[in-house]
Amino acid sequence: MNLLKKTKFLAFLLAFLMVSPAFAYTTGSINYRDVMANYSKAKAAQNEIEDRANELQRFLLDKEKEFKKLESPVQKKSFEEQTAKTFAQKQDAYQKFKIKKEKEIDDAIVAAIKAVAIENKVDSVVDARVMFFGAVDLTDKVIKKLNTGN
């Protein structure tokens, strides 16, 4: 009886191996760094984020100049408290803006990757840094889709 089970299992395994090419699995890869570097909206978003960060730095520099002009310790203390409160609000707004922009870009990239994968009949896509060979490189197609919408 045990031999019969082994024989059936081997027959099933051989049958499965014979039809497995019909279930071929295709993997694609993208170089995420190249996508980010060549996606026009990602560059624009990065510039916006940097501009906002520079605004924060300018705010602090301006407040430092104002602080140096104050003479009394009471004025300095009040100024420091108000500046710290305002800076915290500005910093929070900056962080929210940065997260929003990064999410927009990431969502667009993921959508483009999915669309390109479907168009090219690719079952899964990984970052090129984790797959040395054996994957279809979709990087240029993803960049083109992002920049042209096609």
150: confidence class by pLDDT, cuts 50, 70, 90: low
The 10s digit of each residue's pLDDT in 83-141 is: 999 999 999 999 999 999 999 999 999 999 999 999 999 999 998 888 778 889 999 99
What CA–CA distance (Å, rounded) separates 29 from 131? 7
Report whether 130 contacts 30 (CB < 8 A).
Answer: no
pLDDT number for residue 112 = 96
User: According to the model, what pLDDT value does residue 36 have?
Assistant: 94
Sheet of 136-137, strands arranged across: 124-127, 27-30, 136-137
Q: What span, in angstroms and rounded, lies between the C-alpha atoms of 94 and 58?
A: 14
Beta-carbon contacts of 137 under 8 Å, excluding residues fewer than 6 positions away, are 28, 29, 30, 31, 128
Q: What is the pTM of this model?
A: 0.74
